[in-house]
Chain A
Amino acid sequence: MSLKTINAAPGFQDYLPKEYQDLLEDGPFFKQRKVSELGSFKEVIEEHPMCSGCAMTLFIRLVYLGLPSLEHTVICGTAGCGRLAISQGAVPFIYGNYGDTNAVASGLKRGLDIRFPDTPKDVVVMAGDGGLADIGFHGVMHSWFRKEKFTTIMLDNEVYGNTGGQDSGMTQKGMVMKMAPTGKKFEKMDMLGLAKTAGVAYTARIAPTNPTRVANTVRKAVLIAREVGPTFIQAYTSCNIEYAIPTPKVMDDARDVEKDRYGFVEYFSDDAKAYWEESEKERKRLRKAEKK
């Protein structure tokens, strides 16, 4: 399909839906928005069918905020709760087959690099714990071993929420779930350890308690993936339905779990550390120069 077919002709922009015009005039494209600006500009996602109080939705909203160039980003997902929100975002989204995210992203990223050698096109996988640690596990691991240059974000609600509450590999040991009627028999999978073993350039574990930190972590992960190699964010995004967390208590739960077992950690490979320190220095230098 021709690019012209799906671009608004200048004379007709005034007749397009208000949402589209707002995105053009006051959206997060071609400029990095900050958490402090939330509520003052048009976000790429506003309406969605997620459950009331869902922490995953807040996290996804913050991911969109952190992405360093939304106008050159494509997101890959798979079945699960998250895609119900992600597919409402004004960013191209590939909803593939079960657990195919990291293989699709590998082909997509390589193809985009062939077509756009001078424009960084960011590919971001955003899918659930079941999609990435269970059914898509081998694809995730092999994309890491191959050093594919894209970011994988796990929306870890520790359950198959979309199918009604079955245990995943990321569920804690002992939890009674719909397919673990006597309690889950094995430990929560150590995806962070596996990422390190596979040579992932940057790994972070995070809960959605500190919005600025979430946005910064996402930005960091995508920029490092662009230049150095695969990056991975494992995010606690509780399921308040299956874990029976009262809606007003969702953030209390996030803070408790963060304190107990999901504290913020990040790990850089040597290459990633060197790259990040250098690019931070450069950013500071540019900021100073701007002020002058």
Chain B
Amino acid sequence: MSDGTKEATTPQLRQDDPRDRVASPPAPGKEEIEKEKKGAAAQRVVDPDYLILEAPRKKEFITGSEAAKESIRRANVDIAIAYPITPQSETMQQVGYLYAEGYIKDYYRGEEEIGVMSAIAGASRSGVRCLTATAGPGLMRGLEAIVSWPGARLPSVLLVMCRVVNTPLAIQPDNVEISYLLNAGGIVLHGENQQDFYDFPLVAFMVSEKPEVTLPAAVAVDGFFVTHARGWVSMPAEDIKLPPRDCYHEAVPMMDNENPPIRIARDAPIQKSNFISYQMHASWQQEIWSAQERAKKWLDRWLGGLIEIVNPTAKTMIVASGAAVSQGREAVRQAGEQGLDVGLIKVKSLRPFPGKELDEALDHADKIVVPEFNYVGWLSKEIKANIKRTDRVVGGPRVYGGMTMPTELILETIKDSNER
């Protein structure tokens, strides 16, 4: 065509294409798209309780990125805005395939993360259900926009596939970036495995849009360990989806100008130096954190509790979130073989933080071991800030910059702390 545009074409794949076809499947062909379009059109809306808790499920052995895709397929998303960064790209490109197949109404690749996170702020204000995802440095870049979402009361879901953010630059797993999200004001869930990466986004959408919550929600997982590895994921059939966003049952009015004449500036500049503006700002912030508390009952209902407890009476308890939970589970098993009585608490929700629940579940424990995939130990600090007798907390083991966490490391930490 004269203006330089071309018909959509798919490049021919090279026979010796070195890319990983499992972790990064190519875009669907025309026939597949036509078939899937019928599937998308045939999807029916079901009650969230049914989709999340009751619908019969089948198991599949898939990557974390594929699990997220299957979650989004059933999430009734209106608009998804993408920008590539390792190890997130595989997920949002597959979300793009869902758009091509008719499961999502609009999708585009934004200019970079500030642009993407700002566009999510615009889309959410319009009243539609929106999704994006990022990782590591992308999260850091988008943070200015992300920390403004809760105050503007913008329901949305942000998937975070954690990786190194520090210099020297690396794409390896390391979840220090979650510590920056913890004080942003939004809901933050931390998934352990591929199953969580299917389940958590659906829960996140529903909780985020509850009238008494009306907050953005992030679902974080540890990059590569979850996103690029395969695991068993049980899921209901593809023909059901969540109800659409009901934007007129949320905490704030929509920016759709359906009520002229009205002056809505939900995010009005309150920059005067007087006690009325101080009070407005203070109450606004208090309200965000109160909304987090109000999210707890819904997270309880759909996640089966903010924490999961294994071997609850053990005197030595491991407390972990994310991929460290899986290592903790195996450490509990190995400790049992060695005659050690060790328990585990999985923290599913970091915001709202289950402080009271942890305090109660850990009251009997003599030692609390907190394995983490980061140097700074943000989870151990959170736990110390929420329980009594903090000298019981052993902050570690910690691995970072891409290191794996052998279970031996956790067992050694337990034994060392017992000897001390």
Q: What residues of chain A have their CB less than 8 Å away from a CB belonging to chain B?
A: 1-3, 5-7, 20, 23-24, 27, 29, 44, 70-74, 76, 83-84, 87-98, 100, 103-116, 121, 138-139, 142, 146
Contacts and interface: CB of A to CB of B under 8 A. Distances in A.
Contact of B112 (A6, A71, A98, A138): A138
A23 B112 CA distance: 41
> Closest 4 interchain pairs by CB?
A111-B126, A107-B122, A107-B123, A107-B119
A1 B252 contact: yes
Interface stretch (B194-202, B259-267, B283-291): B259-267
B297 interface: no
B257 A71 contact: yes
Contact of A73 (B108, B257, B259): B257
Interface of B: 78-79, 81, 105-106, 108, 110-112, 114-116, 118-128, 130, 144-145, 148, 248-269
A104 B121 contact: yes
Given A76-B122, A96-B148, A87 B265 contact: yes
B122 A105 contact: yes
A7 B259 contact: yes
Contact of A74 (B114, B248, B255, B268): B255
Contacts of A24: 261
9 contacts: A5-B253, A6-B262, A7-B259, A72-B260, A92-B263, A95-B268, A109-B126, A111-B122, A111-B123
A111 B145 contact: no
Contacts of B261: 20, 23-24, 27, 29, 44, 71, 90-91
A41 to B, nearest CB: 12
Contacts of B130: 107, 111
A197 to B, nearest CB: 13
Contacts of B124: 107, 111
A111 B126 CA distance: 5
B256 A114 contact: no
A92 B122 contact: no
B260 A107 contact: no
A237 B106 CA distance: 37
A112 B78 CA distance: 11
A89 B263 CA distance: 7
Given A1-B252, A115-B128, A108 B257 contact: no
Nearest to B119: A107
Given A6-B253, A96-B148, A114-B79, A139 B118 contact: yes
A1 B212 CA distance: 11
A24 B266 CA distance: 22
B119 A106 contact: yes
A109 B268 CA distance: 20
A67 to B, nearest CB: 11
A7 B128 CA distance: 21
B268 A87 contact: yes
Given A111-B125, A111-B126, A92 B250 contact: no
A42 to B, nearest CB: 9
Contacts of B115: 103, 106, 138-139, 142
Given A92-B265, A138-B111, 11 more contacts: A3-B258, A3-B259, A92-B263, A94-B255, A94-B265, A98-B144, A104-B119, A107-B125, A110-B123, A114-B78, A138-B112
A85 to B, nearest CB: 12
Given A73-B257, A106-B119, A107-B121, A115 B263 contact: no
A15 to B, nearest CB: 16
Contacts of A6: 253, 259, 262
B118 A93 contact: no
A113 B106 CA distance: 10
Nearest to B111: A142
B95 to A, nearest CB: 15
B256 A112 contact: yes
Contact of B269 (A70, A92, A95): A95
A45 to B, nearest CB: 10
Contacts of A95: 265, 267-269
A92 B255 contact: yes
Nearest to A42: B261
A116 B105 CA distance: 13
A83 B126 contact: no
B121 A115 contact: no
